[in-house]
Amino acid sequence: MTAPIPAPPGFTPDEWETFERDGILILDDVLSPGETAALRDAVDARTPRARQGDIVALDSRFVPLIDHPQHVGRMFDVYGDMLKLLSSELFRREPGQANRNNWHFDGPRLLPFGSFSDRAPLRVKVGYWLTALPRKEMGNLIYVPGSHRWDHLPQYHTHEPHPQEKHLTVGPGAMTLMWGGLWHRVDVNRSRTTRRNVFLEYGPSWLVATDRTHTDPQWAAGLSRERRIILRAYDDPNQGVKPPAEDVPLYLDRLGQDAPDPVGTRYVDHVPLELRRRTTWVERRGKA
């Protein structure tokens, strides 16, 4: 059995501060040009599909995204040993596309995730932008910074402009992290290019996936240890709540240690490692 490895780098304190305040973190030039082109080809291979889910199971070119080092450490900072990939999807927003999302936030509206957590998001959506979006009206993401803490938006379910809205303009290879609950919509695409991007959404393993009912455990067993765990392809649904011993810890801490951190709940020696709580980076930050 493969041994756990140290967690890849996570949030800097400044990045987390921005993310917590705005509900969105935008980082440029995260993917190399080669990586961006390869992902764009993989997205185009699904043409004419404008949107498709569970892409990591569909095309092996998307598999490295499950634990891409540019985001997985940050997701581990939020969800720790229970990190799960909740969905992976691609988008192709063609010029003149009439069907575009109006104001909404991702996740349940009747009893939103925000009802349960103020300190940390219950879902985070990672976006990789594969085509240049230098100006408005290119199928851009439009969002209201800081609105992840708002229960209500008067413009909900319309395309009425909001006075504080921002239009995402980025180069190919940029990454965004979006806090579950951020109000957003999609711009018209009056350009001549198709907007292509992929989204990967993460949360704790006790949340349901939204792009699949089940991942085939046999297929997942052929992936690396970290990818297999993050997909949470469990036959026993209770393992989403109580992961099997071999899946804990997901990563060692960044110093290569697997002991519970001193800020976490203390246990006596007879409690096995997989039942011991390790606080997440976000939790430790809150207690600092």
Total Cβ atoms within 10 A of residue 124: 23
Backbone torsions φ then ψ of 221, nearest 5 degrees: -65, -20
Site string for Fe ion, 222-261 (x = CB under 5 A): ----------------------------------------
Nearer to Fe ion, 106 or 165 (CB): 106
Shortest distance, position 123 Cβ to Fe ion, whole Å: 11
Shortest distance, position 184 Cβ to Fe ion, whole Å: 6
Q: How far is CA 152 from the centre of its chain?
A: 23
- CA–CA separation, 191 vs 120, rounded Å? 37
**Going by DSSP bridges, is the β-strand pair 195-204/124-129 parallel, antiparallel, or unpaired?**
antiparallel
Angle at 1 between CA 79 and CA 255, to 5 degrees: 50
Token pair for residue 52? 């498709």
CB 133 within 8 Å of CB 26: no
Which of 215, 275, 250 is CA-nearest to residue 76? 250
Backbone torsions φ then ψ of 82, nearest 5 degrees: -110, 15
CB 63 within 8 Å of CB 56: yes
Nearer to Fe ion, 81 or 106 (CB): 106
Give the total of residues touching Fe ion (CB under 5 A). Answer: 1
Site string for Fe ion, 9-48 (x = CB under 5 A): ----------------------------------------
Shortest distance, position 239 Cβ to Fe ion, whole Å: 29
Which of 279, 242, 243 is CA-nearest to residue 261? 279
Nearer to Fe ion, 89 or 106 (CB): 106
Shortest distance, position 167 Cβ to Fe ion, whole Å: 15
Nearer to Fe ion, 22 or 106 (CB): 106
Site string for Fe ion, 78-117 (x = CB under 5 A): ----------------------------x-----------
Shortest distance, position 235 Cβ to Fe ion, whole Å: 31
Nearer to Fe ion, 67 or 106 (CB): 106
Shortest distance, position 214 Cβ to Fe ion, whole Å: 24
Nearer to Fe ion, 73 or 114 (CB): 114
Measure CA of the first residue to CA of the last residue in the chain; give whole Å.
Answer: 36
| Widest CA span in the chain | 64
Beta strand extents in 164-267 (DSSP E only) = 166-167, 174-179, 184-186, 195-204
Q: Does 201 bind Fe ion (CB under 5 A)?
A: no
Nearer to Fe ion, 186 or 229 (CB): 186
Shortest distance, position 182 Cβ to Fe ion, whole Å: 9
Residue nearest to Fe ion (CB): 106
- CA–CA separation, 76 vs 278, rounded Å? 12
* Chain residues that interact with Fe ion, rule: CB under 5 A: 106
